[in-house]
Amino acid sequence: MSHLMNTYNRLPIAFTHGKGARLYDEHGKQYLDALAGIAVNGLGHAHPKLVAALTDQVGRLIHTSNVYRVREQEQLADRICALSGMQEVFFGNSGSEANEAALKLVRMFGHKRGEPEAQTIVMERAWHGRTLATLAATGSDKARKGFDPFPTGFIQVPYNDIEAVRRAVDADRRVLAIWLEVLQGEGGIYVADMTYVKALRQLCDERGLLLMIDEVQSGIGRTGKWFAHQWAGVRPDVMTLAKGLGSGVPVGACVAAGPATGVFGPGNHGTTFGGNPLAMRAGVETLAIIESEGLMVNAVAQGERIVGGLKRVLGGIEGLVQIRGMGLMIGIELDRPCGELVRQALDAGLLINVTHDTVIRMLPPLILNAKEADMIVERLAPLILNFLRAGIATTATAKAA
Ligand SMILES: *Cc1c(COP(=O)(O)O)cnc(C)c1O
């Protein structure tokens, strides 16, 4: 521990193994996993089909390099394009890397069109990663603090506000792309109006701009469709994927369609590990299992079950701001910082997370069953009730004093 850089506030437990939606710590205590490694372990832990496929793959090939053709890479790209209606894929190893590829694509796109200062419109509260360029596009002052100077080329506007985007596009002729999450994850589980997403598509078509959608957290079935933007019935020009794609084997993807295709040529972009046979097999198998087990339909059903259950217990309670989300991407916003609930849930055998200080976030595995969905509600709702009541009691005491 003392030799690790001090970049995380870690909880004082470590897990030894998992099975489905359950994780077991070093003392044998069982936890219900409502976080799934931050939207990564969509298939839960140790899914037998995934274990068999990866075991087979490790026994044959882990890595060869992009000096050669990689059949598994071609296979996963075909699959992603079939599911998204898009045309080309570049594989990296993380969400940040997928987004870096997308940002480099915009810049190259600009240079090819005689606009060497391409600007990308980005959103308040957006989260795109921790590399310098993705951090420059991220709307979190906390994450950015101390890391300037940043790469330029970003114009930030309020989320879910089409007029703000229009004004920004009108104000700067160098704007070539609009970039957003359809459902903001790290920013606090804020869902865009689908009419807004459609209007962005239309604006991009009218002005010849690239519509870029970061599906790193919301993609791969989590909201009940392969990609969250499909709820709006639009297709982006650039889409990025990562978290759920490899079920824990690191993989990221930058996917292009229409005007965003054919932008890079050999030597323009690359990465050593990207698209290796192990990561690609994990992706192919993950998508196959989500489809064959009907996990997207399940994500919607269990998401509704959790949200419905929470609303029944917590509805109208003072201190609860909103319960929101799509599928198994769920946020419970309180009117005060609630980080301490993470520890309390841990004691109660439930793994959750708090983002943006006041939003309890759950990203359970897509394999969650109804009993487990109910168990999440049974374990979490009383903690929230107690937390809010204690807070109100404290405020009342303070006022009396
Ligand atoms: C997690 C996340 C990223 C960053 O992905 P990393 O793999 O951590 O680099 C980018 N965009 C969104 C929407 C994310 O949720």
Interval 92-115 mean pLDDT: 98
Confidence label for 267 from pLDDT (cuts 50, 70 and 90):
very high
Report how far ligand 1's centroid is from the alpha carbon of 277 (Å).
Answer: 22
State how far the Cα of 235 lies from the Cα of 238, in Å rounded to an integer.
Answer: 9
Concatenated DSSP letters of 287-324: HHHHHHTTHHHHHHHHHHHHHHHHHHHHTT-TTEEEEE
Q: Name which of 192, 127, 199 is nearest 163 in CA terms.
A: 199
Is the C-alpha dihedral spanning 122, 125, 128, 132 positive or negative? positive
Domain count of the fold of the chain: 2
Contact between 13 and 25 (Cβ < 8 Å): yes
Q: What percent of the chain has pLDDT over 90?
A: 96
Give the nearest ligand 1 atom to 97 CA: 9
Q: Where are the extended beta strands (E) located within 93-163?
A: 119-123, 154-157
Q: How far apart are CA 366 and CA 52, in angstroms?
A: 19
Q: Which atom of ligand 1 is nearest to the CA of 250?
A: 7
Residue-wise pLDDT for 313-363, tens only, equals 999 999 999 999 999 999 999 999 999 999 999 999 999 999 999 999 999
Q: What is the pLDDT of residue 391?
A: 78
Domain-located, residue 40: no
Contacts (Cβ under 8 Å, ≥6 apart) of 226: 83, 84, 219, 220, 296
Query: Which ligand 1 atom is at minimum distance from the Cα of 129?
Result: 4
371 in the same domain as 235: no
pLDDT-based confidence at residue 395 (cuts at 50, 70, 90): low
Give the bridge partners for 362, in sequence order: 330
Q: Does any domain span residue 39?
A: no
Within this chain, do residues 282 and 181 fall inside the same structural domain, yes or no? yes
Residue 1 has pLDDT above 90, yes or no: no
Say yes or no: 288 and 325 in one domain: no
- Structure tokens of 202? 């239309």
**What's the farthest any 2 CA atoms get from each other in the chain?**
74
In one-letter notation, the amino acid at residue 167 is: R
Give the distance (Å) from ligand 1 centre to CA of residue 59: 30
CATH number of residue 226's parent domain: 3.40.640.10
- Domain termination residue (choose one: 273, 292, 311): 292
Residues 88 and 116 in one domain: yes
> In terms of domains, do 298 and 376 share one?
yes
Same domain, 323 and 268: no
* Structure-token pair, residue 19: 């099975």
Q: Quick one: 298 and 288 in the same domain?
A: no
CB 220 within 8 A of CB 243: yes
Model confidence at 392: pLDDT above 70: no
Q: How far is the CA of 38 from the centre of ligand 1 (A)?
A: 10
How far apart are the two ends of the chain, measured CA to CA in Å? 44
* Other C-beta atoms lying within 10 Å of the C-beta of residue 262: 11
Cβ-based neighbour number of residue 10 at 10 Å: 10
CA of 316 to the centre of ligand 1 (A): 33
Closest residue CA from atom 11 of ligand 1: 128
Of 259, 292, 325, the residue that ends a domain is 292
pLDDT higher than threshold 70 for residue 6: yes
CATH number at 313 reads 3.90.1150.10
By residue range, what is the domain housing residue 306?
Answer: 15-33+294-400
Q: In what order do the strands lie in the sheet with 22-25?
A: 15-19, 22-25, 30-33, 350-351
- The answer on pLDDT for 401 being more than 50 is no
Check: pTM over 0.95? Answer yes or no.
yes
Binding pocket residue ranges, ligand 1, CB within 6 Å: 94-96, 99, 127-129, 181, 185-186, 214, 216-217, 242-243
Neighbours of 125 (CB within 10 A): 17
In a domain, 166, yes or no: yes
Q: Do residue 322 and residue 269 come from a single domain? A: no
Ligand 1 center from residue 321 Cα (angstroms): 26
Closest ligand 1 atom, CA of 184? Answer: 13
Residue identifier of the C-alpha nearest atom 6 of ligand 1: 95
| Within a domain: 168 | yes
Angle at 30 between CA 26 and CA 33, to 5 degrees: 110
Q: Check residue 272 and give its pLDDT.
A: 98
Q: Which helix (H) or strand (E) holds 360?
A: strand 359-362
Is 399's pLDDT higher than 60?
no
| 248 shares a domain with 355 | no
362 and 306 in contact (C-beta within 8 Å)?
Answer: yes
HSE of 84, CA atoms in CB hemisphere, 13 A: 32
Residue 321: CB atoms within 10 Å:
13
Instruction: State residue 219 phi and psi, 5-degree precision.
Output: -85, -175
Ligand 1: nearest atom to the Cα of 130: 9
Query: How far is ligand 1, taken at its centre, from the CA of residue 215, in Å?
Result: 9
Does 383 share its domain with 370? yes
Of 239, 272, 292, which marks where a domain is finished? 292
Please indicate, yes or no, if residue 38 is contained in any of the structural domains: no
**Separation of CA 119 from chain center:** 24
Pair (276, 344) in one structural domain: no
Across the range 101-114, mean pLDDT stands at 98
Rg (alpha carbons) of the chain, rounded to whole number: 21
